[in-house]
Amino acid sequence: MNGRVAACLSFGCVIGTRRDFAESGHAELRNAAVASNANNCYYEPMSQDLLARITIRPEQCHGRPCIRGMRIRVVDVLGMLASGAPEAEILEDFPDLEPEDIRACLAYAVTQLGHPVIIAAE
């Protein structure tokens, strides 16, 4: 990382350095600078250009997320990665894919899983 990180906090994501957070006048940012629990996370901010590679069209693959309008589903790439396939093998098997497409699949997964889910009590 180039020293810039994002802190996901209750009031949104803030981009800065850990030192910026530690010296902040805002208590939640100061706490985020040293916290390592599930409520605060640090990651490289994702590029919107990267996420723009993911397309969702109702007429294509039944509306499932695909890569750059091709019929290569995000879930299939994630499945290959999860099964241990190296990036080079995926790119060899799918010559139309680019390394950024694989990163876009991972970034898309983060956006889908990176929000709170509230479960109603029974």
**Quick one: 19 and 66 in the same domain?**
no
72-110 pLDDT, tens digit per residue, is: 999 999 999 999 999 999 999 999 999 999 999 998 998
Which backbone phi and psi does 64 adopt, to 5 degrees?
-75, 150
CATH number at residue 66: 1.10.10.10
Amino acid identity, residue 4?
A: R
Using CA atoms, how far apart are residues 16 and 45, in angstroms rounded to an integer?
10
What contacts 24+ positions apart, CB below 8 Å, involve 48-57? 50/100, 50/103, 50/104, 50/107, 51/104, 51/107, 51/108, 51/111, 53/100, 53/101, 53/104, 54/104, 54/105, 54/108
pLDDT tops 80 at residue 44: no
39 and 52 belong to one structural domain:
no
Which amino acid appears at position 56 of this protein? Answer: I
Does 88 fall in a domain?
Answer: yes
Question: Do 32 and 61 reside in the same domain of the chain?
Answer: no
Say whether pTM exceeds 0.75. Answer: no
Q: Which domain holds residue 56?
A: 48-113
60 and 74 fall within a common domain: yes
Q: Mark whether 106 and 88 lie in a shared domain.
A: yes
